[in-house]
Amino acid sequence: MTMTPPSTMRASVLHAAGDVRTDTVPVTPLGDDQVLVRIAAVGVCGSDVHYFHEGRIGPFVVEGPLILGHESAGTIVAVGSSVSASRVGERVSIEPQRACRTCVQCKRGRYNLCSRMEFYATPPIDGAFAEFAAIQADYAYPIPDTMSFEAAALCEPLSVGIWSNQKAGTAPGSRILIAGAGPIGIVVAQVARAFGAAEVIVSDPVEERREVALRFGATRTIDPLADDISALSLDVDAFIDASGAQPAIRSGIQAVAPAGRVVLVGMGADDVVLPVSRIQSRELIVTGVFRYANTWPLAIELASSGKVDLDALVTGHYGLADVEAALKAAGLPSTMKVIVTPNAV
Protein backbone atom coordinates (compact mmCIF):
# COMPACT_ATOMS: atom_id res chain seq x y z
CA MET A 1 0.00 0.00 0.00
CA THR A 2 1.29 3.45 -0.86
CA MET A 3 2.41 5.56 2.06
CA THR A 4 1.34 9.13 2.70
CA PRO A 5 4.33 11.19 1.55
CA PRO A 6 6.08 13.00 4.39
CA SER A 7 5.83 16.79 4.44
CA THR A 8 9.51 17.32 5.30
CA MET A 9 12.80 15.48 4.94
CA ARG A 10 16.47 15.83 5.71
CA ALA A 11 18.68 16.93 2.85
CA SER A 12 22.23 18.10 2.28
CA VAL A 13 21.87 21.60 0.86
CA LEU A 14 24.53 23.66 -0.92
CA HIS A 15 23.96 27.30 0.07
CA ALA A 16 27.03 28.72 -1.67
CA ALA A 17 30.45 27.55 -2.82
CA GLY A 18 32.06 25.69 0.08
CA ASP A 19 28.91 25.91 2.22
CA VAL A 20 26.93 22.66 2.46
CA ARG A 21 24.59 21.97 5.38
CA THR A 22 22.16 19.29 6.52
CA ASP A 23 18.76 20.99 6.57
CA THR A 24 15.12 20.02 7.01
CA VAL A 25 13.34 20.91 3.79
CA PRO A 26 9.83 20.42 2.35
CA VAL A 27 9.07 17.36 0.28
CA THR A 28 7.74 18.65 -3.04
CA PRO A 29 4.18 17.40 -3.68
CA LEU A 30 4.07 14.55 -6.19
CA GLY A 31 2.90 15.25 -9.71
CA ASP A 32 0.31 12.91 -11.21
CA ASP A 33 2.96 11.15 -13.31
CA GLN A 34 5.64 10.93 -10.61
CA VAL A 35 6.87 8.47 -8.02
CA LEU A 36 8.49 9.25 -4.70
CA VAL A 37 11.68 7.30 -4.07
CA ARG A 38 13.22 6.70 -0.66
CA ILE A 39 16.85 7.22 -1.60
CA ALA A 40 19.20 4.39 -0.60
CA ALA A 41 22.40 5.38 -2.43
CA VAL A 42 23.76 8.39 -4.30
CA GLY A 43 27.06 8.48 -6.16
CA VAL A 44 29.19 11.61 -5.88
CA CYS A 45 30.00 12.99 -9.33
CA GLY A 46 32.72 15.38 -10.43
CA SER A 47 30.02 17.93 -11.21
CA ASP A 48 28.87 17.81 -7.55
CA VAL A 49 32.46 18.47 -6.48
CA HIS A 50 32.73 21.32 -8.97
CA TYR A 51 29.52 22.98 -7.74
CA PHE A 52 30.74 22.61 -4.15
CA HIS A 53 34.09 24.27 -4.83
CA GLU A 54 33.15 26.78 -7.53
CA GLY A 55 29.42 27.34 -7.18
CA ARG A 56 28.97 27.00 -10.93
CA ILE A 57 29.69 24.94 -14.03
CA GLY A 58 29.79 27.06 -17.18
CA PRO A 59 26.42 28.82 -17.52
CA PHE A 60 24.87 26.88 -14.62
CA VAL A 61 25.24 29.01 -11.48
CA VAL A 62 24.12 28.22 -7.92
CA GLU A 63 22.08 31.29 -7.07
CA GLY A 64 20.06 29.80 -4.19
CA PRO A 65 20.00 26.71 -1.95
CA LEU A 66 20.51 23.57 -4.04
CA ILE A 67 20.43 19.86 -3.23
CA LEU A 68 23.27 18.15 -5.12
CA GLY A 69 23.51 14.51 -6.24
CA HIS A 70 22.18 12.97 -9.45
CA GLU A 71 23.43 9.36 -9.41
CA SER A 72 20.72 7.71 -7.32
CA ALA A 73 18.64 4.66 -6.54
CA GLY A 74 16.15 3.57 -3.93
CA THR A 75 12.66 2.21 -3.30
CA ILE A 76 9.36 3.66 -4.50
CA VAL A 77 7.23 4.57 -1.48
CA ALA A 78 4.44 6.64 -3.05
CA VAL A 79 2.99 7.29 -6.51
CA GLY A 80 1.09 10.05 -8.27
CA SER A 81 -2.55 9.63 -9.22
CA SER A 82 -1.82 8.40 -12.77
CA VAL A 83 0.77 5.80 -11.70
CA SER A 84 -0.19 2.26 -10.74
CA ALA A 85 0.00 1.66 -6.99
CA SER A 86 1.56 -1.70 -7.81
CA ARG A 87 4.86 0.14 -8.28
CA VAL A 88 5.11 0.89 -4.55
CA GLY A 89 7.93 -1.21 -3.12
CA GLU A 90 9.87 -1.44 -6.39
CA ARG A 91 13.64 -1.10 -6.17
CA VAL A 92 14.61 1.38 -8.87
CA SER A 93 17.49 3.18 -10.55
CA ILE A 94 16.70 6.82 -11.33
CA GLU A 95 17.45 8.47 -14.66
CA PRO A 96 17.74 11.98 -13.21
CA GLN A 97 16.23 14.09 -15.93
CA ARG A 98 12.89 15.40 -17.14
CA ALA A 99 12.61 16.35 -20.80
CA CYS A 100 9.73 18.37 -22.22
CA ARG A 101 8.92 15.53 -24.68
CA THR A 102 7.53 18.00 -27.26
CA CYS A 103 10.48 20.00 -28.67
CA VAL A 104 12.28 19.08 -31.91
CA GLN A 105 15.15 17.33 -30.12
CA CYS A 106 12.79 15.30 -27.93
CA LYS A 107 10.66 14.33 -30.93
CA ARG A 108 13.76 13.07 -32.71
CA GLY A 109 14.77 10.91 -29.74
CA ARG A 110 17.59 13.17 -28.60
CA TYR A 111 15.88 14.18 -25.38
CA ASN A 112 19.23 14.76 -23.66
CA LEU A 113 19.49 17.88 -25.84
CA CYS A 114 16.07 19.20 -24.79
CA SER A 115 16.35 22.97 -24.29
CA ARG A 116 13.85 22.78 -21.41
CA MET A 117 15.54 19.87 -19.64
CA GLU A 118 15.21 19.67 -15.87
CA PHE A 119 18.19 17.69 -14.60
CA TYR A 120 18.84 16.70 -11.00
CA ALA A 121 21.39 18.90 -9.20
CA THR A 122 21.66 21.39 -12.06
CA PRO A 123 20.50 24.82 -10.83
CA PRO A 124 17.73 25.36 -9.97
CA ILE A 125 16.63 21.68 -9.94
CA ASP A 126 17.25 19.83 -6.69
CA GLY A 127 19.03 16.48 -6.67
CA ALA A 128 19.12 13.39 -4.47
CA PHE A 129 21.37 14.09 -1.47
CA ALA A 130 18.13 13.78 0.49
CA GLU A 131 15.93 11.19 2.16
CA PHE A 132 13.44 11.29 -0.73
CA ALA A 133 13.36 12.38 -4.37
CA ALA A 134 10.57 12.55 -6.94
CA ILE A 135 10.90 11.57 -10.59
CA GLN A 136 8.55 10.85 -13.50
CA ALA A 137 7.50 7.21 -13.27
CA ASP A 138 9.05 6.19 -16.59
CA TYR A 139 12.45 7.51 -15.46
CA ALA A 140 12.42 5.14 -12.46
CA TYR A 141 13.68 1.81 -13.79
CA PRO A 142 13.06 -1.43 -11.85
CA ILE A 143 16.23 -3.32 -10.96
CA PRO A 144 16.77 -7.01 -10.17
CA ASP A 145 16.79 -8.05 -6.51
CA THR A 146 20.38 -9.23 -7.03
CA MET A 147 21.55 -5.73 -7.95
CA SER A 148 22.86 -3.49 -5.16
CA PHE A 149 21.54 0.02 -4.69
CA GLU A 150 25.12 1.26 -5.15
CA ALA A 151 25.33 -0.34 -8.60
CA ALA A 152 21.85 0.95 -9.42
CA ALA A 153 22.92 4.49 -8.55
CA LEU A 154 26.04 4.11 -10.69
CA CYS A 155 23.93 3.26 -13.73
CA GLU A 156 24.10 7.03 -14.26
CA PRO A 157 27.86 7.24 -14.94
CA LEU A 158 27.56 3.87 -16.68
CA SER A 159 25.10 5.54 -19.04
CA VAL A 160 27.75 8.14 -19.85
CA GLY A 161 30.09 5.26 -20.70
CA ILE A 162 27.46 3.60 -22.88
CA TRP A 163 26.60 6.84 -24.71
CA SER A 164 30.29 7.60 -25.26
CA ASN A 165 30.97 4.18 -26.77
CA GLN A 166 27.87 4.39 -28.94
CA LYS A 167 29.12 7.75 -30.24
CA ALA A 168 32.54 6.16 -30.83
CA GLY A 169 31.02 3.30 -32.80
CA THR A 170 32.68 0.73 -30.53
CA ALA A 171 32.04 -2.77 -31.87
CA PRO A 172 33.62 -6.24 -31.74
CA GLY A 173 37.27 -5.92 -32.74
CA SER A 174 37.48 -2.16 -32.21
CA ARG A 175 40.67 -0.50 -31.02
CA ILE A 176 39.89 2.30 -28.57
CA LEU A 177 42.09 4.92 -26.88
CA ILE A 178 40.76 6.55 -23.70
CA ALA A 179 42.37 9.56 -22.01
CA GLY A 180 41.75 9.75 -18.29
CA ALA A 181 41.43 6.90 -15.79
CA GLY A 182 39.07 8.60 -13.37
CA PRO A 183 35.62 7.12 -12.69
CA ILE A 184 34.22 7.99 -16.13
CA GLY A 185 37.32 6.77 -17.98
CA ILE A 186 37.18 3.48 -16.10
CA VAL A 187 33.49 3.04 -16.88
CA VAL A 188 34.13 3.89 -20.54
CA ALA A 189 36.85 1.22 -20.61
CA GLN A 190 34.55 -1.40 -19.07
CA VAL A 191 31.81 -0.64 -21.57
CA ALA A 192 34.28 -0.79 -24.47
CA ARG A 193 35.25 -4.32 -23.47
CA ALA A 194 31.59 -5.26 -22.97
CA PHE A 195 30.91 -3.99 -26.51
CA GLY A 196 33.64 -6.32 -27.81
CA ALA A 197 36.60 -3.99 -28.26
CA ALA A 198 39.77 -5.97 -28.93
CA GLU A 199 42.10 -3.28 -27.58
CA VAL A 200 41.35 -0.72 -24.90
CA ILE A 201 44.29 1.63 -24.33
CA VAL A 202 44.01 3.99 -21.37
CA SER A 203 46.33 6.94 -20.76
CA ASP A 204 46.67 8.70 -17.42
CA PRO A 205 49.64 10.43 -15.73
CA VAL A 206 48.81 8.85 -12.33
CA GLU A 207 50.31 5.37 -11.90
CA GLU A 208 47.69 4.37 -9.33
CA ARG A 209 44.90 5.09 -11.77
CA ARG A 210 46.64 3.27 -14.62
CA GLU A 211 46.77 0.20 -12.39
CA VAL A 212 43.05 0.51 -11.72
CA ALA A 213 42.40 0.74 -15.47
CA LEU A 214 44.16 -2.58 -16.03
CA ARG A 215 41.82 -4.20 -13.52
CA PHE A 216 38.76 -2.80 -15.26
CA GLY A 217 39.03 -3.54 -18.94
CA ALA A 218 42.18 -1.83 -20.20
CA THR A 219 44.45 -4.05 -22.28
CA ARG A 220 47.26 -1.50 -22.13
CA THR A 221 48.03 1.73 -20.29
CA ILE A 222 50.23 4.68 -21.21
CA ASP A 223 51.84 7.37 -19.08
CA PRO A 224 51.41 10.48 -21.25
CA LEU A 225 54.19 12.23 -19.33
CA ALA A 226 56.67 9.51 -20.33
CA ASP A 227 55.42 8.69 -23.84
CA ASP A 228 54.27 10.99 -26.63
CA ILE A 229 50.98 9.38 -27.60
CA SER A 230 50.87 11.22 -30.92
CA ALA A 231 54.18 9.57 -31.87
CA LEU A 232 53.22 5.98 -31.01
CA SER A 233 51.45 5.21 -34.32
CA LEU A 234 48.47 3.77 -32.47
CA ASP A 235 46.00 4.33 -35.34
CA VAL A 236 43.00 3.48 -33.16
CA ASP A 237 39.44 3.35 -34.47
CA ALA A 238 38.26 5.85 -31.89
CA PHE A 239 39.58 8.17 -29.21
CA ILE A 240 37.41 8.97 -26.19
CA ASP A 241 38.62 11.83 -24.01
CA ALA A 242 37.52 11.54 -20.37
CA SER A 243 40.08 14.03 -19.08
CA GLY A 244 39.14 17.44 -20.46
CA ALA A 245 42.87 18.24 -20.72
CA GLN A 246 43.93 20.02 -23.90
CA PRO A 247 47.23 18.11 -24.31
CA ALA A 248 45.35 14.82 -24.00
CA ILE A 249 42.75 15.89 -26.56
CA ARG A 250 45.36 17.03 -29.08
CA SER A 251 47.58 13.95 -28.79
CA GLY A 252 44.57 11.63 -28.81
CA ILE A 253 43.30 13.08 -32.08
CA GLN A 254 46.75 12.48 -33.60
CA ALA A 255 46.42 8.79 -32.65
CA VAL A 256 43.18 8.14 -34.57
CA ALA A 257 43.22 6.24 -37.85
CA PRO A 258 41.66 7.71 -41.01
CA ALA A 259 37.84 7.90 -40.87
CA GLY A 260 38.00 7.31 -37.11
CA ARG A 261 36.01 9.03 -34.38
CA VAL A 262 36.86 11.45 -31.60
CA VAL A 263 34.45 11.67 -28.65
CA LEU A 264 34.87 14.49 -26.14
CA VAL A 265 33.46 13.59 -22.71
CA GLY A 266 35.68 15.29 -20.13
CA MET A 267 34.89 18.79 -18.93
CA GLY A 268 37.84 21.14 -19.30
CA ALA A 269 38.36 24.58 -20.78
CA ASP A 270 35.55 26.10 -22.81
CA ASP A 271 37.91 26.50 -25.79
CA VAL A 272 40.85 24.35 -26.88
CA VAL A 273 43.11 24.39 -29.93
CA LEU A 274 42.53 21.38 -32.19
CA PRO A 275 44.71 19.98 -35.02
CA VAL A 276 42.24 20.94 -37.72
CA SER A 277 44.45 19.86 -40.64
CA ARG A 278 44.71 16.37 -39.12
CA ILE A 279 40.95 16.19 -38.67
CA GLN A 280 40.43 17.29 -42.28
CA SER A 281 43.06 15.14 -43.94
CA ARG A 282 41.97 11.99 -42.10
CA GLU A 283 38.24 12.80 -42.30
CA LEU A 284 37.85 12.31 -38.56
CA ILE A 285 34.42 12.67 -36.97
CA VAL A 286 34.58 14.82 -33.83
CA THR A 287 31.62 14.88 -31.47
CA GLY A 288 30.77 15.76 -27.91
CA VAL A 289 28.83 13.93 -25.23
CA PHE A 290 26.11 15.67 -23.22
CA ARG A 291 24.61 13.21 -20.77
CA TYR A 292 22.75 10.33 -22.54
CA ALA A 293 19.43 9.14 -23.94
CA ASN A 294 17.72 5.74 -23.86
CA THR A 295 20.61 4.05 -22.04
CA TRP A 296 19.11 2.79 -18.78
CA PRO A 297 17.81 -0.63 -19.89
CA LEU A 298 21.23 -1.49 -21.31
CA ALA A 299 23.01 -0.09 -18.25
CA ILE A 300 20.96 -2.28 -15.93
CA GLU A 301 21.60 -5.30 -18.14
CA LEU A 302 25.37 -4.74 -18.30
CA ALA A 303 25.64 -4.20 -14.54
CA SER A 304 23.28 -6.95 -13.40
CA SER A 305 24.81 -9.52 -15.78
CA GLY A 306 28.34 -8.81 -14.52
CA LYS A 307 29.61 -7.55 -17.87
CA VAL A 308 30.40 -4.29 -16.09
CA ASP A 309 31.44 -4.26 -12.42
CA LEU A 310 30.10 -1.17 -10.66
CA ASP A 311 30.22 -2.37 -7.07
CA ALA A 312 34.00 -2.74 -7.23
CA LEU A 313 34.32 0.96 -8.07
CA VAL A 314 32.93 2.04 -4.70
CA THR A 315 35.72 3.27 -2.43
CA GLY A 316 33.74 4.89 0.39
CA HIS A 317 30.35 5.40 2.04
CA TYR A 318 29.16 8.57 3.81
CA GLY A 319 25.97 9.50 5.64
CA LEU A 320 23.85 12.51 4.84
CA ALA A 321 25.52 14.58 7.56
CA ASP A 322 28.93 13.87 6.02
CA VAL A 323 28.31 15.05 2.46
CA GLU A 324 31.01 17.72 2.73
CA ALA A 325 33.56 15.00 3.60
CA ALA A 326 32.23 12.89 0.73
CA LEU A 327 32.66 15.77 -1.72
CA LYS A 328 36.23 16.35 -0.55
CA ALA A 329 37.06 12.62 -0.71
CA ALA A 330 35.68 12.37 -4.25
CA GLY A 331 38.42 14.71 -5.47
CA LEU A 332 41.29 12.52 -4.29
CA PRO A 333 43.32 10.51 -6.85
CA SER A 334 42.86 7.35 -4.77
CA THR A 335 39.07 7.65 -4.96
CA MET A 336 36.94 5.99 -7.61
CA LYS A 337 33.30 6.35 -6.53
CA VAL A 338 32.03 7.70 -3.22
CA ILE A 339 28.50 6.79 -2.16
CA VAL A 340 26.19 8.86 0.07
CA THR A 341 23.52 6.88 1.95
CA PRO A 342 20.83 9.41 2.96
CA ASN A 343 18.70 7.00 4.96
CA ALA A 344 21.44 5.01 6.70
CA VAL A 345 21.00 4.82 10.46
Q: What is the pLDDT of residues 230-273, one digit of tens each?
A: 999 999 999 999 999 999 999 999 999 999 999 999 988 889 99
Q: What is the dihedral of CA 285, 287, 293, 296, to 10 degrees?
A: 80
pLDDT over 70 for what percent of the chain? Answer: 99
pLDDT of 345: 65
pLDDT of 58: 82
In terms of residue numbers, what domain contains 269?
A: 160-288
**CATH value at residue 249:** 3.40.50.720
336 has a pLDDT exceeding 70: yes
Tell whether 23 and 134 lie within a shared domain: yes
Tell whether 278 and 317 lie within a shared domain: no
C-alpha dist (Å) from residue 305 to 115, 151, 321: 35, 12, 34
CB 12 within 8 Å of CB 68: yes
Q: Looking at the domain assignment, is residue 301 inside a domain?
A: no
Tell whether 180 and 145 lie within a shared domain: no
Tell whether 144 and 169 lie within a shared domain: no
Q: What is the pLDDT of residues 274-292, one digit of tens each?
A: 999 999 999 999 999 999 9
Q: How confident is the model at residue 1 (pLDDT cuts 50, 70, 90)?
A: very low
* Paired sense of beta strands 337-341 and 34-43, if any: antiparallel
d(C-alpha 293, C-alpha 109), whole Å: 8
Q: Looking at the domain assignment, is residue 114 inside a domain?
A: yes
Q: Looking at the domain assignment, is residue 299 inside a domain?
A: no
As for how many domains the chain has, the answer is 2
Query: Residue 34 corresponds to which amino acid?
Result: Q
Q: How confident is the model at residue 227 (pLDDT cuts 50, 70, 90)?
A: very high
The structure's pTM equals 0.96
Tell whether 59 and 112 lie within a shared domain: yes
Q: What is the pLDDT of residues 164-203, one digit of tens each?
A: 999 999 999 999 999 999 999 999 999 999 999 999 999 9
Tell whether 259 and 322 lie within a shared domain: no
